[in-house]
Amino acid sequence: MAQPNSESDLLKNLLEPLLDDFQYWFGRSRTLLEANEISFLGAEAQADLLARVIAAQQQVSAAQMLFKATAGQVGVDTAVMAPWHHLVHECWGVATRFRQEQANQ
């Protein structure tokens, strides 16, 4: 029977890729929001969403730096990650609708 991973191994195997995924999706969302006028959002809502994405990217970067600086000994509370997850989900919805509208034009 295999030995269970230590807590730091578990954090490294789960948290590190999760933080990378957040960075990836926030980066894609930022690119979309900066490069396109998304008419169904309106300028103010688009600017607000972009500001929230940029803030979340900075938060994830800080978590990644702390994780690396402590050699994987520090985790991130799920209460901190939940808003990131909701924001990624919101961005997916915007991107999906934007692409659907582009395809219909």
Distance CA 35, CA 37 (A): 7
> Minimal CA–CA distance to 59: which of 22, 92, 28?
22
pLDDT tens by residue, 25-55:
999 999 999 999 999 999 999 999 999 999 9
Task: Give dist(CA 33, CA 51) in Å, integer.
Answer: 10
* CA gap 80, 67 in Å, rounded: 14
Residue 88 or 10, more confident? 88
